[in-house]
Chains A and B, each alone.
Chain A
Amino acid sequence: MTGRLALQGAGVSVGTAVGAALVLEPETVPVFRYAIAPEAVGAEQARLRAAVDSSREQLRSIRERLLREVGPRAYIFDAQLLMLDDPLLVQRSLDLLKEQAVNAEWALRSVGDELHDLFAGFSDAYLQERGTDLDDVVGRIHLNLAADGSAPSLARLPGPVVLVSGDLSPSQAAEMDWDNVLAIVTDAGSPTYHTAILARSLGIPGVVGLKDATRRIPTGARVAVDGSTGSVLVEPSEADIDGFARRAEEVRRCAKGLEAERPLPATTIDGVRISLQANAEFAEEVTSALEYGAEGIGLFRSEYLLGRAQTWPSEDEQVDLYRRLIELMRPHPVTVRVWDLPPEHAEHVSGRANPAMGERALRLQRRRPEPFHVQLRALLRAAVAGPLRIMFPFATGPSDVMAVREMVEAARLSLRKDGIEHREDAPVGLNIEVPAAAATADLLAREVDFFSVGTNDLIQYLLAVDRADPLVARFYEPLHPAVLRVIDGVVRAAMEHDVPVSVCGEMAADPLQALLLVGLGVRELSMSAVSIPRVKNALRKVHASHAAEVARRCLGLSTAAAIEALARQELLGTAEAGPQ
């Protein structure tokens, strides 16, 4: 175990937690470390032996097949088979399991890593490669351990953990046993990063942008996380933990104060009603969104349904899920965003290509229409149950609207032909997140039922800042004059054509920025559910007419700092200055 270590990242969600780290490594099955009761050591050793036996059977049958097909070259597997009986690997793992009273996976992993390092240390390339055989064998035993049903996985964590990962992929997130996740810590990211949004919507502490947390925090280490300050302590002292507990208590007290306002509407002093909705990735989040006072799901990120298996869910599965969302939220609306950046594409864009500007959403649809067709059929069917809106992401201009219309029409036609009950007039809208769409908002507004401004991507594209890159994250300025002007243009175009416009980026979750959006004329805000009480609190203390006047004045200012200073003085000066 390491000694005390203090790391600093960007805190992205309110709250603190202390627990055992689980470090996720990219592309591998995570290996958990947990203690085994002394009386269970025998059974755990038997688990390991059984996994070794299964591995041996598998390798034997592979070798027999190869002997028939390629002849003597099958000797490669002779070495692997001998490794399975090798005391340096198996017996040492069994011994370590007993000595440390740890699970089989961890014992095998520790011994495997040690041997791997010995092979990697050779200068001889041939011997280095034998390390590959070893890794192969160890990997096979791990797979057999995982297959025995009692093994923990991301979907069934062995207990509460602090998740430490390079980056949390959507498929890992979809599969995760969130009830047992105390906090999330990631190497990548900035406060507007996707994992950060996830932490906020789940209401658990998160710290992102730590760069090398996965390398510096060992699995099993005790970790204290403060999501407000971004502080992460490895092996904290008792005094550290007391400090964390005190801050957690303050956060709870502050939340209690907002609690009283929960049943109250989000109405400004001069009576303008604002609809505060929640962003969500999973149906499980809807219940907690209601608890925070959400009046709808403003953004349901459907691609999370693809899960770790990365398979498209069937039409019926989707109908069930969308219907569940609608039933939980009725009478409030649910806006489902059509597939965006499916994970299967993560591989071929992970190289030099830039996934943010790659073949996503509508672009992918042109090459692979089937999953979109199935989803649209499911959405139109589910819409019978209540107010469901269909939102298309990543539109870049009027030609995309044509594609959208054709797609929706094709889904309607096929449902009609099949005689399946569905709603013909479910509202269809666009996510305005690409500057090209914002620039053509007046043309788009004639053709669709609603706009939803995705500020996270819009700001990223507009300012040419990758928000996942810690080196440039500070250039990501939501109050940059360009951002306000572009949003102003979109809202005006929408109003002119009587198209409702909502904002579903993280700007909506920041009380000051939310007030400016209301000043620009936005009447629907969708955010991480945990942010709703704070935004509502701020809204209830301002006049919408005053916010409008301040927003006009801000449009004439030349820096984000000047805009923020004016807005803060004018809008939060009378309102309470919330946490930054």
Chain B
Amino acid sequence: MIEREVVIRNSLGLHARAAARFVRLAGRFQSHVKVERGGRRMDGKSILGMLLLAASRGTHLILLVDGPDEQEAAQALVELIESGLGEEVA
């Protein structure tokens, strides 16, 4: 299992469009993806779970990726978040 800490950088945070991007990307990998915020852990392949994390800009999240393609999955997901989830980074 791979564990990585990331910070939400885009100005709108993990809102609907950004969360949808994350969930779609997570869904392409076989590995289980969990996202944790302050002890609350959600399924990274669940749009409702991601929205319920209510992660705004500056929020620290922990990604937990576990499975046969965990290396590529973790790398791709971290890159997506750090690049601002396809949106402008203020």
Residues of A within 8 A of B (CB): 75-76, 78-79, 82-83, 86-89, 115, 118-119, 122, 124, 126-127, 130, 133-134
Contacts and interface: CB of A to CB of B under 8 A. Distances in A.
B45 A87 contact: yes
A123 to B, nearest CB: 9
Interface stretch (B3-11, B47-55, B57-65, B75-83): B47-55
Interface string B1-35: 00000000000000111011001100000000000
Chain B interface helix/strand/loop/mixed: helix
A126 B49 CA distance: 16
Contacts of A86: 46-49
Size bracket, chain B contacts = 10 to 19
A130 B16 contact: yes
B20 A82 contact: yes
Nearest to A122: B54
B36 interface: no
25 contacts: A75-B16, A75-B17, A75-B20, A78-B16, A78-B20, A78-B24, A79-B47, A79-B51, A82-B20, A82-B23, A82-B47, A83-B47, A86-B46, A86-B47, A86-B48, A87-B45, A88-B48, A89-B48, A118-B52, A119-B51, A122-B54, A127-B15, A130-B16, A133-B16, A134-B48
Q: Name the residue among B16, B43, B51, B56 with the largest chain A CB count within 10 angstroms.
A: B51
Nearest to A88: B48
Top 4 A-B pairs, shortest CB-CB distance: A82-B47, A79-B16, A78-B20, A88-B48
A576 B46 CA distance: 71
A295 to B, nearest CB: 63
A88 B45 CA distance: 10
B20 A88 contact: no
Contacts of B51: 79, 119, 127, 130
Nearest to B48: A88
Given A86-B47, A86-B48, A118-B52, A126 B15 contact: yes
Contact of B19 (A79, A88, A115, A134): A79
A135 to B, nearest CB: 12
A152 B58 CA distance: 49
A564 to B, nearest CB: 62
A574 B59 CA distance: 85
B48 A115 contact: yes
A83 B48 contact: yes
Contacts of B46: 86-88
Contacts of A89: 48
B18 to A, nearest CB: 10
Nearest to A89: B48
Given A78-B17, A83-B48, 12 more contacts: A78-B20, A79-B16, A79-B20, A87-B43, A87-B46, A88-B43, A88-B49, A122-B54, A126-B15, A127-B51, A130-B51, A133-B16
Nearest to B16: A79
B55 to A, nearest CB: 10
A271 B21 CA distance: 87
Nearest to A133: B16
A79 B17 contact: yes
Nearest to B22: A82
Nearest to B19: A79
Contacts of A127: 15, 51, 54
A76 B16 contact: yes
A124 B48 contact: no
A87 B1 CA distance: 22
A115 B16 CA distance: 16
A75 B12 CA distance: 15
Nearest to B15: A126
Contacts of B19: 79
Contacts of A115: 48
A75 B20 CA distance: 9
Nearest to B52: A118
Contacts of B56: 124
B16 to A, nearest CB: 4
A91 B11 CA distance: 32
A79 B20 CA distance: 6
A340 B19 CA distance: 52
Nearest to A82: B47
B24 A82 contact: yes
A124 B54 CA distance: 9
A379 B23 CA distance: 63
Contacts of B43: 87-88
A76 B16 CA distance: 7
A30 to B, nearest CB: 25
B25 to A, nearest CB: 12
Contacts of B52: 118-119
Contacts of B20: 75, 78-79, 82
A137 to B, nearest CB: 10
A75 B47 CA distance: 13
A119 B19 CA distance: 15
A133 B47 CA distance: 11
Nearest to A91: B46
A127 B19 CA distance: 12
A86 B48 CA distance: 7
Contacts of A119: 51-52
Contacts of B47: 79, 82-83, 86
A30 B19 CA distance: 32
A220 B56 CA distance: 41
Contacts of B17: 75, 78-79
A76 B43 CA distance: 21
